[in-house]
Amino acid sequence: MLDLVIRNGLIVDGSGLPARRGDLSIHDGRIVAVGGRAGEAHRVIEADGKVVAPGFIDPHTHFDAQLCFDPYAFPAIEHGITTVVPGNCSLSLAPLRADHRDAFSRMFRLIEEMPEEAFNTGVDWQWGEGFGSWLEALTGQIALNVAPLVGHSVIRMFVMGEAAQQRVATDSEIHAMAALLRECLHAGAVGMSTSFVDVDENYRPVPSRWAAPAELDALAAVLGECDKILQIVHEFYDADLTIARIEQLADLSLRHGITTTLSPLFHSDANHRGVTRVMAAVAEARARGAAVWPQVQTRPIDISFTLDQRSLMLIRMPSWWKVAAIRDRSEKIAAINEKRQVLVDEMNALTGQAAAGLGAGDFVVREVANEHNAHLVGRTIDEIATERGVSYGDAVVDLVLEENLQTWFIRASVGHNNSEVVGGLLADPLVHVGASDGGAHVGSFSTFGDTGYLFSEFVRGTGSLSLEAAVKKITLDPATIWGLRGRGLLAPGYAADVVVFDADEIGRGPEIASDDFPGDGIRWIRRQQGVDTVVVNGVETWSAAGGYVAGARAGQIASRGADHE
């Protein structure tokens, strides 16, 4: 008897081929038949014409810390995601020496915007220092699949200590890094991540940015030896620098026979030709035989922030950034009053850039602490400033002080703002969907919902992709690019990672909601609508009717090239 049958669904198998009606049969965590009428099973899920697709794969996340205390990687699973790739932006929880943990956690918390108390509450470091021991600690304890990257910055820290953020490496240090990377890859890492843009809490470049080209070449050689992938965060804000990185990735790909990917690739109306030029460089690299894959995020980023915490929203404003870093609330308020004019001028300058298509754009009041300001919720700062007869910067500072730093602002739709252009980009066979940043930016970025937005905006909305093509973009395509053999397709013998969803409802509402986090942290998230059921390796893990299934721990370490038979 079968373990599970998903009955009478519209099977969109991930291949891109036309959908067909039928049943999906599952036994021992594997798909045994696709289509037709299945036999008896211990459990039957009635799909009733809903789409039955492979579980979605998210190739750019930061669930590293969250997985230590949340086996479900909330809310990824309810968005249909069954496999995540953590360890991005050159940062992973291992390999890491015990005496480097404080420095690493400060760096991780800053870049991924996780409050200190939340990180310290959730991460206990019980696994020790090695990458393999971290994966062993996850094994049997996770509800979705994890395809982990190892971070270039932590490899540098492990070998060089404080010098990792002071100088280039010596030949002997590069040799030691290569050996350590090889060890991590053999332990189960799918590849290595590096960053060319990130900074630590003191504005210093992260360790990976200190690497000379010879160091990256040596590490890429190890990736080639082990058939693993290189993922980078490039200078996405500058088309010329991005093109230079694509050329560098192409050279590394050709020299070492590796797959490379860069994220994120944004379209901006401030630079209409930027994406066109970047994609021309990608096409040229592919024509040379290089494997270079840009990742495109489906939705604009919504950035929520409060002055009570430090947010990357403020990183381009040095005075705001320094004030936000002050921990004591009374000291922070005193600093705002003391530096008021500088803060106002910086905020006004950012607004001027926004008017030219270069800056952050208008802020909207999302939440207030004082009832007498409740009428401001949902209104823009520009409207409030005009009404009060003050400058934009003065309006922000006034509201922050009135609210005792408790005002929550949101800047919606940063990045992509032309659905027709982005739809064409997503439909390009040379890109894949990524860069959701799931698990990061607690209390700031709200990037969850990429999968639903793909269907609501670009299948039902612009019609840029068919239903079948959209499913392939987030299933078989990333599985193939990332070498996750045996996943991303509904076919006999493949892992039974399955999502059942309503094609007409997925991605509709609801609004962003707040969610409690360890240590009294708050983050803004999207709860998915339209997803009915999620199955991970044959185990029903979440449903719209029943929520998360208690004790569901069927997730696996999904190493590159392994099919877990």
pLDDT of residue 522: 52
Separation between Cα atoms, residue 176 and residue 169, nearest integer Å: 10
Structure tokens at 219: 């590490």
Is the model's pLDDT at 538 over the cut of 90?
yes
Q: Residues 174-187: what's their mean pLDDT? A: 98
All structural domains of the chain, each given as residue ranges with its CATH number in brackets, are: 56-300+415-486 (3.20.20.140), 303-414 (3.30.1490.130)
Band (pLDDT 50/70/90 cuts) for residue 272 is low
Q: Average pLDDT for residues 150-159, to the nearest whole number?
A: 98
Average pLDDT, integer, range 483-491: 97
Least confident window among 240-254, 440-454, 510-524: 510-524
Centroid of chain to Cα 44: 33
Q: Sort 417 into a burial class: Cβ within 10 Å, 0-12 / 13-18 / 19+.
A: middle
Question: How confident is the model over 340-381, as pLDDT tens digits?
Answer: 999 999 988 876 544 433 344 578 887 888 888 999 988 888
Least confident of 140-144, 433-437, 483-487: 433-437
Global pTM reads: 0.88
| End-to-end C-alpha distance for the chain, whole angstroms | 20
Alpha helices in 202-273 (DSSP H): 213-226, 239-256
Q: How confident is the model at residue 174 (pLDDT cuts 50, 70, 90)?
A: very high
pLDDT band with cut points at 50, 70 and 90 for residue 517? low
pLDDT of 122 above 90? no
Cα dihedral 549, 554, 560, 565 sign: negative
Does the pLDDT value for residue 442 go beyond 70?
no
Q: Sort 466 into a burial class: Cβ within 10 Å, 0-12 / 13-18 / 19+.
A: middle
pLDDT tens digits for range 445-463: 444 557 898 999 999 999 9
